[in-house]
């Protein structure tokens, strides 16, 4: 206890102060899943962002033989590579630790072993150099990324679709979120990965399914459109995945045509589902913010790379008077620049953390909402 008190006293992050009026430089660290990442960003007093360095080391090949992320392998790989990545990120940014205004790290949600690795390193740097610590919610990183690249006013609608998350949030401000819907079982990227696995395609499956779907017939198999027409905007993908499994089992030996047709029919079911869920989300958004005019629709996460789905979002944005923003893939998928940026936005509001802050496996963005029932490959976290 004495030791903890000593640490807290030594950490200026424990003191709340505002840095909205100065240019800040933040180191960000991301280790919540299967990417080890470090980045340095700059934020001007006007709120403009600039990435000074952005390094992501994917562990894809370490996990590929298992068809998914293995938590223990992930944590060990973070330990092996993180210090080198942080050194490189600092070097590329061209500012020493003394030039930093804060150290941000993902503190959850995610695979606990990995989160602890990154958060502990951030605490060490913050303590050693007397800098504020910013314990960032990984989902907040995704939610605020678009503001790093361009001016985006609050409130806006966020659709986060990745291997671990599938949710709609109203982003009302930094630290102010309202969850509109989430998955009650699998995450969307996870559904793509599982379908790919059923078809004997590689991991991660999303890009493979998209590639094979291009040559396929989207009407050959009539897969379910989960939750379509329901008056909320939750998602469910496990029934769709089961339907795909049954078709694949019935087909027996799969020809190239079969694989292409299953992929195309699956993608068509997902596209129709997303259009329906999006319609509901916009309705709920408009009810919450009737005077929002033409708000942004931000789509983030690895699945946002899917061209078929992007077309759905474009059509929906036009129909519902939204400005669609899909950040570049590098910032949509897991990275540390988004963590550094979220840290910078928090620091500008004086939202710093003390060194006693704990890593969290689960951490909903919208604290007022009950945790979701579902899973996603990382367990219930939304
Ligand atoms: O955001 P991300 O890189 O990592 C996290 O899960 O946090 O997302 C990875 C997911 C994987 O499930 C992958 O299959 C999916 O995004 N994905 C895609 C595509 N590219 C990646 N899904 C559908 N179509 C794609 N083109
Ligand atoms: Zn993520």
Mean pLDDT of 205-225: 96
For the chain, where are the alpha helices, taking DSSP H only?
Answer: 2-10, 60-63, 71-93, 112-129, 138-144, 146-149, 188-198, 205-213, 238-251, 256-288, 307-319, 329-332, 337-348
Query: What's the 7 CA to ligand 2 centre distance in angstroms?
Result: 30
- Look at 63-77, 101-115, 313-327 and tell me which has the smallest mean pLDDT: 63-77
Query: What's the 207 CA to ligand 1 centre distance in angstroms?
Result: 8
Looking at the DSSP bridge assignments, the partners of residue 288 are none
- Say if residues 268 and 227 touch (Cβ distance below 8 Å): no
CB distance 206 to ligand 1 below 6 Å: yes
Residue 17 is predicted with a pLDDT of 52
Query: What's the 140 CA to ligand 2 centre distance in angstroms?
Result: 10
C-alpha dihedral, 161 to 109 to 141 to 352, nearest 10°? 160
Residue 210 is predicted with a pLDDT of 97
pLDDT tens, position by position, 231-248: 889 999 999 999 999 999
Task: Quote the Cα angle for 235-370-36, to 5°.
Answer: 70
374 phi and psi angles, rounded to 5 deg: -75, -165
pLDDT exceeds cutoff 60 at 12: no
């Amino acid at each position: 206890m004495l030791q903890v008190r000593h640490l807290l006293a030594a950490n200026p992050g424990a003191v709340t102060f505002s840095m909205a009026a100065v240019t800040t430089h933040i180191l960000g660290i991301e280790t919540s899943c299967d990417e080890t990442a470090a980045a340095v960003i700059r934020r001007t007093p006007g709120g403009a962002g600039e990435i000074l360095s952005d390094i992501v080391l994917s562990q894809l090949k370490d996990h590929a033989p298992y068809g998914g992320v293995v938590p223990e392998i992930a944590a060990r790989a973070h330990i092996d590579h993180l210090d080198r990545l942080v050194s490189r990120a600092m070097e590329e940014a061209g500012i020493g630790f003394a030039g930093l205004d804060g150290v941000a790290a993902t503190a959850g949600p995610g695979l606990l072993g990995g989160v602890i690795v990154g958060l502990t390193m951030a605490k060490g740097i913050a303590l050693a150099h007397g800098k504020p610590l910013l314990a960032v919610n990984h989902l907040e990183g995704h939610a605020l990324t678009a503001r790093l690249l361009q001016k985006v006013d609050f409130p806006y609608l966020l659709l986060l679709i990745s291997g671990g998350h599938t949710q709609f949030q109203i982003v009302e401000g930094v630290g102010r979120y309202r969850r509109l819907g989430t998955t009650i079982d699998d995450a969307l990227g996870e559904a793509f990965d599982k379908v790919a696995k059923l078809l004997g395609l590689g991991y991660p499956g999303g890009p493979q399914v998209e590639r094979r779907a291009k040559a396929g017939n989207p009407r050959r198999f009539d897969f379910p459109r989960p939750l379509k027409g329901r008056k909320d905007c939750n998602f469910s993908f496990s029934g769709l995945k089961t339907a795909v499994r049954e078709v694949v089992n019935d087909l027996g030996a799969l020809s190239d045509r079969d694989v292409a047709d299953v992929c195309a029919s699956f993608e068509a079911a997902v596209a129709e589902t997303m259009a329906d869920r999006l319609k509901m989300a916009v309705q709920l958004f408009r009810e919450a913010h009737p005077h929002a005019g033409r708000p942004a629709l931000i789509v983030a996460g690895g699945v946002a790379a899917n061209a078929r789905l992007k077309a759905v979002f474009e059509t929906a944005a036009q129909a519902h008077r939204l400005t669609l923003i899909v950040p570049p893939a590098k910032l949509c998928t897991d990275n540390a620049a988004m963590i550094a940026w979220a840290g910078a936005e928090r620091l500008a509001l004086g939202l710093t953390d003390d060194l006693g802050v704990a890593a969290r496996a689960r951490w909903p963005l919208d604290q007022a909402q009950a945790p979701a029932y579902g899973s996603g490959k990382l367990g219930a976290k939304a």
